[in-house]
Amino acid sequence: MTGALDTCPKRMVHGPCGGVEPDGRCEVDDRHCAFLTLHRPVRADPAVAGFMTPAAAAMATLIATRPVIVADFPGRALDVESTRACADVLAGSVDATLAGDSGGARVQFSPALRAQLIQQRGLPVWSGINCRDRNRVALEGELAALAVVGVAGVHCVTGDHPAVGHRPDALPVFDLDSTRLAALAAAAGHLVSVGEAPASPPFGLRPARLVEKQRAGAAVVFVNHCGPPARVARFLTEVREAGGNPIAIACVPVVVDRGSAELLRTFTSLVLPDGYLDGILAAADPRQAGIEAAVDLADRMLEVPGVRGINLSGGPAPGDELGYAEALAEIATRIGVR
Ligand code: SF4
């Protein structure tokens, strides 16, 4: 593995990341992904059995009871009032909000402060944490702080390279990758999720890679946008055949106007059902069409064996944070699992 470590700009051990381009190029530049020729993922150390925080245990119990609805947090970065206002709109409509990364707003409040601000409004947080901006010591501190705040879940990602996004001037850290971060988060008592990108090459490696993340301590996988429900079903079948059984939360794209469509297009490894975006943007009322499309796709995703929840995924056009939050709340209510 030393070879891949030497040439991967994120210094990943448990690669590849989700940003591999369809033709096998690295997300950072024109080199080929260092992991393309790997036949099996690197084995992860097994998770150390331990405790769960009360908030993590509550979310784990909820998922065991019924499907859950999570929504990407739409509040403006570094804006307390926008954070509170969007939390107020979503509270009571979704089971948790995923407060994660944004390609257009890399500078955020620290995960623990952000989670605190949101949870003070009665909205559980599934906190995103990445390896791009913090070394392992800083990550351990954040995980400890998130346990004090009492977040519902921690979503561990390697993170996009700084070259991708709006802060290419920042030095990349990548002291850890998502698999090793998942192990730390589980040891800190969190309900741990990871992402996996079925539509990113090398396709054959992804199911077994997810099994290794599960071995490391991840209980939940957010299945990145990879097309129709049948594609998610195929991926989860492959994961089971590889020996895994994670709780799957399927990402459902939420687009209500051109601005939110543009933002969604910045997501790495994005593959949508055929005609999804065009159908919404060509409608007389794109907002209503986007809501209807998301409800329909979520209902169909929830029929896929192994899918135990939906993540309403995307972000608002600049300035439409509250309007987008209202759309998320309406979609969540209409899905009707709560
Ligand atoms: S695509 Fe990701 S895993 Fe592959 S070499 Fe680039 S940064 Fe590393």
Segment 136-172, tens digit of pLDDT: 999 999 999 999 999 999 999 999 999 998 999 999 9
Our CA angle for 14, 18, 24, nearest 5°, is: 95
Cα 193 from Cα 237, distance rounded (Å): 19
Which residue among 1, 12, 30, 38 is best mutated to probe the pocket of ligand 1, counting the most ligand atoms within 8 A of its Cβ? 12
Residue range 199-214: mean pLDDT, rounded: 96
- What integer pLDDT is reported at residue 49 of this predicted model? 72
Q: Nearest CA to 251 among 265, 271, 266?
A: 271
Please name the residue whose Cα sits nearest to atom 4 of ligand 1.
Answer: 33
Q: Nearest CA to 268 among 224, 301, 210?
A: 224
pLDDT tier for residue 3 given thresholds of 50, 70 and 90: low
Tell me the two tokens of residue 2: 């030393």
CB 20 less than 6 A from any atom of ligand 1: yes
Ligand 1 centroid–CA 260 distance in Å is 27
CB 256 less than 6 A from any atom of ligand 1: no
State if pTM tops 0.75. Answer: yes
Evaluate whether 121 touches 88 at the Cβ level (below 8 Å): yes
pLDDT tier for residue 48 given thresholds of 50, 70 and 90: confident
Residue range 15-24: mean pLDDT, rounded: 94
Atom of ligand 1 nearest to the CA of 7: 5
Ligand 1 centroid–CA 206 distance in Å is 14
- pLDDT for residue 298 is more than 60: yes
Which residue among 2, 5, 25, 28 is best mutated to probe the pocket of ligand 1, counting the most ligand atoms within 8 A of its Cβ? 28
CB 157 less than 6 A from any atom of ligand 1: no
Cα 171 from Cα 103, distance rounded (Å): 16
- pLDDT for residue 64 is more than 70: yes
pLDDT tier for residue 104 given thresholds of 50, 70 and 90: confident
pLDDT tier for residue 336 given thresholds of 50, 70 and 90: confident
Ligand 1 centroid–CA 7 distance in Å is 8
Which residue among 2, 11, 13, 33 is best mutated to probe the pocket of ligand 1, counting the most ligand atoms within 8 A of its Cβ? 33
Determine how β-strand 220-223 pairs with β-strand 247-253.
parallel
CB 18 less than 6 A from any atom of ligand 1: no
